[in-house]
Chains A and B, each alone.
Chain A
């Protein structure tokens, strides 16, 4: 079956430009997460969506970052006025529900390079 799908797989952009990263979760999964994976930094939580509840945005590093999830399915992470420190792999994950015993299913990530 299809797993979590992310696009694009690679994105190179110039400093100051806006970028949009897309995530298609596994069908039926109500919980969706965005993480950022930087070299030597591990995985940094960004934002969490659960059903129709208000998203948990506590991990977004600045107001240049925003995310939305339309129709409880596809999610878009937007980074405005990109900076070089935004370069990282952005991972999306989904789970059947947001409870503590639901493992996360990750996508392959989008590698963002800001030049």
Chain B
């Protein structure tokens, strides 16, 4: 069964400091990884996905198949980055390809 682990429920950093939100996964096929974000009083929305290899709002995430990780990183955190971040996996080779499996989320707080 596929599983996504986000070991940190809460993470606080100061403005301008680097930030890394950890995500590890287990899978039995070919995974596609995503990061979703939920800002205060807003709906959950897609931040980025590994196949796009993009940088959104200064965030990047690299899929490391050897370590089965997909950590989210930003070199200089901003106060507006404060939000709940969810890592998600879709196993595109299995019959459950239609659903995303989410981690339990990390609440990031960027302090002034």
Do A45 and B100 touch across chains, with their CB atoms under 8 A apart?
yes
Do B45 and A106 touch across chains, with their CB atoms under 8 A apart?
yes
Do A42 and B105 touch across chains, with their CB atoms under 8 A apart?
yes
With A41-B104, A42-B103, A56-B99 in contact, do A103 and B86 touch (Cβ < 8 Å)? no
Could you say which interface size class chain B belongs to?
20 to 34
Do B32 and A43 touch across chains, with their CB atoms under 8 A apart?
no
With A100-B90, A103-B34, A106-B45 in contact, do A40 and B99 touch (Cβ < 8 Å)? no
The 6 closest A-B pairs by CB, nearest first: A42-B104, A43-B102, A100-B92, A106-B44, A103-B46, A45-B99
Given A43-B100, A103-B34, 16 other A-B contacts at CB below 8 A? A4-B43, A33-B99, A40-B9, A42-B4, A42-B6, A42-B86, A42-B103, A43-B88, A45-B101, A45-B102, A58-B96, A93-B44, A104-B36, A106-B43, A106-B44, A108-B43
